[in-house]
Amino acid sequence: MTSDPLLQPPPDNLEDRPVAEASRLLMGGPTVLVTTTWRGKANVMPLAWHTPLSSKPPVIGISVEQSRHSAEMISHAQEFALNFPKRPYLHHVQYLGALSGEHIDKIDAVQLATFAPTTITSPLIADCAAWIECQVVEAVPIGDHILFAGLVTAVHVDPRSYADGRWSLGEEEHRPLHFVGGNIYSSLSHVLEARVPRDFEAPERILRERIEEELELTREARERREEQMGLLEREIERGNVVDVTALEMPVPPSANDGEPPLDLSKGFILGG
């Protein structure tokens, strides 16, 4: 077997996709509602295409389709604000993406509460997880989009959503929405803390041990699930009262688990 990586065959489970799906693979970051104001009129649009561009000075980029009304407004206003919606805004975000602000006041249409920014004129949307105010320093047409580079002029956060330099994982209603494609969104669920090898440790051995530890944890979780499922099935067969809220798994299991759903008709289920 050759050690040249360019001569290694691709893995068997590799699947090719259209190049247009490259942007989909980058999805998963927090969704933002972009607000801006021009000629006394405010507008809002949901956006997933955003990225840090520089830390010194702090510059953030947003990519807006050239045909969108928001692209024209931002071009004239030379400013915008990023509002990070929380879980309760799920349906608002999706609905706003289907409206055009050219002929309708979108903020008024969905009754969004707003408050005053500190450095720009674009309104900020109330009850969000965080807010970033930006002044446009450059606009670059790229294909069918315009990349607006915004110099960050102010940052505000809800401490229930963001603390200690990262998103918090407190109550779900205060977590930011993450767009994963179509009309599907997600929210952060748990923290994984990475442990890297120290200077005097062999990285290949330490990383291999870390992988083995994670796999062992996965096996333990699977075994614990199977044990609980067996216990639950026996209790249901006996017609006993079962409190599923105390279990560490969803009941009944979904089709994605690869297990047949339990017949819960014989038992008395609490919390299901």
What CA–CA distances, in Å, run from 120 to 38, 60, 115? 12, 15, 12
Give the separation between CA 256 and CA 211, rounded to whole angstroms: 24
pLDDT in tens, 74-127: 999 999 999 999 999 999 888 887 777 777 888 888 888 999 999 999 999 999
Residues 6 or more apart in contact with residue 97 via CB below 8 angstroms: 45, 46
Question: Where in the chain are the domains?
Answer: 19-186, 203-270
How far apart CA 252 and CA 250 sit, in angstroms, is: 6
Give the Cα separation of 76 and 37 in Å (integer).
Answer: 9
Closest CA to 23 of 129, 131, 145, 152: 145
Using the 8-state DSSP alphabet, how is residue 31 labeled?
Answer: P
pTM above 0.85, yes or no: no
Residues 6+ apart with CB under 8 A from 86: 127, 128, 129, 161, 173, 174, 175, 176, 177
Looking at CATH, the fold of the domain delimited by 19-186 is given as Pnp Oxidase; Chain A (2.30.110)
pLDDT of amino acid 241: 62
**How far does Cα 236 stand from its chain's mean position?**
38
- With CA atoms as reference, report the closest residue to 233 among 218, 251, 256, 246: 251
Q: Over its length of 272 residues, how does the chain's per-residue pLDDT go in tens digits?
A: 566 777 778 788 888 888 888 877 877 789 999 999 998 899 999 999 999 999 999 999 999 999 998 999 999 999 999 999 999 999 988 888 777 777 788 888 888 899 999 999 999 999 999 999 999 999 999 999 999 999 999 999 999 999 989 998 888 899 999 998 888 898 888 887 777 776 666 677 777 777 777 777 777 777 777 777 777 777 777 766 666 555 555 544 444 444 555 555 555 545 54
